[in-house]
Structure 1
Amino acid sequence: MKILSNGNIEEIVSLLEKNKPLPKEFKESLISQLNELKHSILFNTKKEYELIYEDKGREEDILADTMAVPLQKVKTFRNGDNSSNPTLEKGGKGGFSGKNSWTNMLIFGDNLQVLKTLWQMKEKGKLTNADGTPGVRLIYIDPPFATKQEFRGSQDQKAYQDKIAGARFLEFLRKRLIFLRELLSEDGSIYVHLDEKKSHYVKTLIDEVFGEHNFRNEIIWCYSTMQTVKTRFANKHETIFVYQKTDNAIFNITYEDYPEDYARRFKYEDKKGKFMIRSKTGQGDLTLQDEKRNPEGTYRQYMKEGSLPKDWWIVDMLNSNSKERLDANNYPTQKPEALLERIIKASSNPGDLVLDCFPGSGTTLSVAEKLGRRWIGVDCGKLAIYTMQKRLLDIAESKSLRGEAEAISKDEIPRYTRNDTFSTKKKYGKQCKPFTLYNAGLYDYKMIKELPWEQYHDFALKLFQCRDEKHEISKIELDGYLGADSVMVFNYQKYKNTMMDRGFIDDLHKYLGDKIGRRFFIIAPAASVQFLEDYIEKGKAKYYILRIPYSIIEEIHNRGFSKIKQPVSEMDVNDTVDAVGFDFIQVPTVECKYYLDKPKNPDLLNQKTKECVIKIEKFESKVLSRKPVEYENLETLSMVMLDYDFDGEVFDLDEVFYAEELKKNDYEVRFAEEKVKGQMMIIYIDIFGNEKREIKTLKDFYRLR
């Protein structure tokens, strides 16, 4: 059932005022929502309590108005190999790879828009677990805590600023929780990971979205780190809230090992297992001699599988020297795999679909892969995407979990020690299963233009949220509807020499006239349109031009276009992002000098070595907009990523340099000469997520400064 947006409601009112029939889907939705309103009034189903804050949206509007974005395939990685084809993936059950197969999904884009797309896939039966159950069986999210504030002013001003930031964060998270609830399978669970600063607010928020009756646990993750705070109790825990969609959710008991002092009491063993000897009337442990002397008054107590799991877990935090810590960039929010292993084993089975829409360093995806689960990861950061890509492709060299999917059966129940550290140095030793990288919201238009017409046609309709319903008006074939208004997709491939000018609109209006109502939409490449207006008015009708790319359209959108922003410093990596709409890749202009130089900070170890230097002299982004913002040279640089040993196929992230640090160093990227193995790849990324790629060898640095 379609949920009616404010725009839909306005359209219904307009049609009713004109005594025109309502589209079928509007009728069904209107009747359903009126029945819900009637039920609410009759039975007073208002919530007992809720958080009230500025700009809190209605659930119905969030579900209806959030823009779904098509997923554009970039590459499929299979056991370290990859393929890229300019295709818009549609796919069948269980994902995008066909009726009987699944390919795990790594998606670059704003997670809210992607969640809307995934929800639509679920509704169409295209998002399933291995057993065919629709939806996601397990969701784990570790959202940015949104507590970083940099504000100068009075204490009152700062308090107000923190309050506003807090409300925005809550609504940011609430929107995503609403879609995550819709994505869950009926026997699914969600784990929401938070720190102490926002957990009390978010608990109330999740109660609203999932229902307080579906709350199952507040898990306390305890860890020990160096303690330096002396003015209060040190923070040594984080909170994970667990909710289930229904009472039938999957829950696998994962027994914990007994404490050593208790386990030592089971000092005898027979065919049934380890046991201690107890008295039937008294307390205390007895011996075999006591059993022989008084067999009627004693019994054997056998050691069970372990103790039942508790809601407080002791799992070591990853320190900077941990072998599990990623080499590339010390990703600041990386969680230990042992923590995710507990969660994934408890609330899913092999073949089940696991989703993380704040995956960061990719711990959830890595553990899901090792445990034989399907997975989807969605992130808006290029650093996160490349970090996860590297982690998954190098997974064979990572440590094995304490128990992998093959070890989980009715006869072998997984167990955990108190601190859940790895009990083996064994490597995982397997290549990852196939996964596909997708763009969602930032597209490669060159690849889209190479699509066969039918795929381009589908992509264009999805891009602007149009219904794919062919129909005719005055013998002119049209492609679909936007609301109740007709839509034409301009076939630029068929009419290569035709430009859309005012004469084109005049000719179209001669045939359509007053048969189209107040609005008519034409989707066309921006390069094919020869006038600047968003629409041309003919009589009572407005002919709207929906240009590709989106960012130069203004008139019909209630909210301004915003792009996904990339961080310029390590501190910004986890900033919340709430993008609107979509855009197309615009490769930035980059000019650099490459040379060898003495180390900038020589010491006894490196004073006789050389450093490779990339001196960035020009960096400019191309921003498509009706009112483009003027940026200074180098202002839009986000980061520079390096792969010192590029294999010619897959970028394998080795090091990242943030713009903030580069600015302090006069925009010089410096690294040891010996790091370069053969050829290297350099990726310059702007704050909008656009990339400029270069391949260099040491010969390119052998020049005078």
Structure 2
Amino acid sequence: MKAERNKTIDMTVEEGKIYLDRCVRLFEKAKLENILDKTIVGDTFQNLTLLPENFVDLLIVDPPYNLAKNYHGNQFKKTSDELYEEYTESWIQRVKPLLKENATIYVCCDWKSSLPIEKVLKSHFHIQNRITWQREKGRGALSNWKNGMEDIWFATNSADYTFHVDAVKIRRKVVAPYKVDGAPKDWEETEDGNFRNTYPSNFWDDISIPYWSMPENTAHPTQKPEKLLAKLILASSNPGDVILDPFLGSGSTSVTAKKLGRHYVGIEQNEQYCCWTEKRLEMAEKDVTIQGYADGVFWERNTTALQQRAQKK
């Protein structure tokens, strides 16, 4: 039995049959209207070849890292950097024809898989930046530094791409308020303190990994936070754009896209994860909030009370 405040989604395929029935399976070349805002069940390498060309505005990829990991029965085995490069090349070759000319690509990775992924990415796309985010969670290491960071490679299909920097500003407390002629300079005074909405850098220290009391949390071993996906989606897409995630997992990309008014297509081979995705998409019909994003800005950690007050104003 779960504790009353434990909101973790962890239903079995049998318990989630109603949700699995909402997903689609492809057996032939698909039309866009048949896959739009859908979860596709099956192997991503097979299904990518059945998708229409030139329909993706934003590609978000969170592939299995080059680590031994059990994804509820689907085992990914650690291999050499050379073989992992071949693995990366394989999915890129299949996904590239699906991208629009001005599409943006984000690829998640850890420090070990980051270099092999970058090596392959730069042979196909324009590398724009590398984001590093502080994930906080992780086991301690007795003979090494604890791994508390992950990377996201930011690439584009061409020199023409979407980037809305004003949509992803971060609200931070002003430690040393500076005034000109007695008035705040680039910050505002509020009843909750002094704040500045700053432009984001490529180091993110405001992300919290989903945990048991958060409605978005599932039993997926490597779930990405909706707040992290929201930054990518708001910066690099427009309302109504199509976002593809070929390694969907428990559905964070699709759910966040839906909450932010974008179309989505996700592919996931694990039926249990597909059930969790559809459950979360159903929940998003009634609740479009994204923890850590309020009042049109991203907030620092441990500011929930301030966010709630901002939303009421």
Q: TM-score range by the shorter chain?
A: 0.7 to 0.9
Q: Does 2:106 match 1:106?
A: no
Gaps of 5+ in 1: 1-76, 97-101, 123-133, 151-160, 267-275, 279-286, 289-299, 427-705
Output one character per residue of 1:16-72: Cα deviation in whole Å (capped at 9) or x when no partner.
xxxxxxxxxxxxxxxxxxxxxxxxxxxxxxxxxxxxxxxxxxxxxxxxxxxxxxxxx
* Cα distance in structure 1, aligned partners of 2:46 and 2:217: 29
Report the alpha carbon displacement of residue 149 of structure 1 after superposing the two structures with TM.
8.4
Question: Structure 2 length as normaliser, TM-score?
Answer: 0.75
Q: What's the counterpart of residue 303 of structure 1?
A: 187
Output one character per residue of 1:545-589: Cα deviation in whole Å (capped at 9) or x when no partner.
xxxxxxxxxxxxxxxxxxxxxxxxxxxxxxxxxxxxxxxxxxxxx
Q: Secondary structure at the match of 2:185?
A: strand
Superposition map of 1:560-571 within 5 A: none
Report the alpha carbon displacement of residue 103 of structure 1 after superposing the two structures with TM.
3.9
Q: What's the counterpart of residue 238 of structure 1?
A: 150
1:95 alignment partner AA: E
* Cα distance in structure 1, aligned partners of 2:110 and 2:24: 42
* Cα distance in structure 2, aligned partners of 1:87 and 1:240: 30
Q: Secondary structure at the match of 2:86?
A: helix
Aligned residues of 2:135 and 2:209 also touching (Cα < 8 A): no
CA pair 247-419 structure 1, distance change in 2 beyond 3 A: farther
1:419 to 277, 294, 301: 301
1:201 to 91, 94, 116: 116
Superposition map of 1:105-504 within 5 A: 105-118=38-51, 121-122=52-53, 134-148=54-68, 165-210=80-125, 214-225=126-137, 228-253=140-165, 254-262=168-176, 265=177, 276-277=179-180, 287=182, 301-303=185-187, 306-318=197-209, 320-326=211-217, 330-396=219-285, 400-401=289-290, 414-419=296-301, 423-424=307-308
* Cα distance in structure 1, aligned partners of 2:204 and 2:26: 45
CA pair 355-319 structure 1, distance change in 2 beyond 3 A: closer
Question: Structure 1 length as normaliser, TM-score?
Answer: 0.35
Report the alpha carbon displacement of residue 205 of structure 1 after superposing the two structures with TM.
1.4
* Cα distance in structure 1, aligned partners of 2:25 and 2:140: 54
* Cα distance in structure 1, aligned partners of 2:95 and 2:26: 27
* Cα distance in structure 2, aligned partners of 1:84 and 1:194: 27
Output one character per residue of 1:319-338: Cα deviation in whole Å (capped at 9) or x when no partner.
543313535xx211111110
1:114 alignment partner AA: N
Q: Which has the larger radius of gyration?
A: 1
* Cα distance in structure 1, aligned partners of 2:23 and 2:136: 45
Q: Secondary structure at the match of 2:107?
A: strand
* Cα distance in structure 2, aligned partners of 1:202 and 1:147: 14
1:200 alignment partner AA: L
1:355 alignment partner AA: L
Aligned residues of 1:315 and 1:420 also touching (Cα < 8 A): no
Q: What's the counterpart of residue 95 of structure 1?
A: 33
Aligned residues of 1:314 and 1:420 also touching (Cα < 8 A): no
Output one character per residue of 1:399-440: Cα deviation in whole Å (capped at 9) or x when no partner.
612699xx9xxxx9x3222339763499xxxxxxxxxxxxxx
* Cα distance in structure 1, aligned partners of 2:309 and 2:59: 29
Report the alpha carbon displacement of residue 111 of structure 1 after superposing the two structures with TM.
0.8
Report how many aligned residue pairs link the two structures: 276
Output one character per residue of 1:344-403: Cα deviation in whole Å (capped at 9) or x when no partner.
001001100000011111100110010111100011112222221222223346561269
* Cα distance in structure 2, aligned partners of 1:393 and 1:219: 31
* Cα distance in structure 2, aligned partners of 1:340 and 1:83: 23
* Cα distance in structure 2, aligned partners of 1:335 and 1:249: 24
Gaps of 5+ in 2: 1-17, 71-76, 189-195
Q: Secondary structure at the match of 2:112?
A: coil
Q: What's the counterpart of residue 651 of structure 1?
A: none
**Identity within the alignment, %:** 25
Q: What's the counterpart of residue 454 of structure 1?
A: none
Aligned residues of 2:135 and 2:148 also touching (Cα < 8 A): yes
Report the alpha carbon displacement of residue 341 of structure 1 after superposing the two structures with TM.
0.6
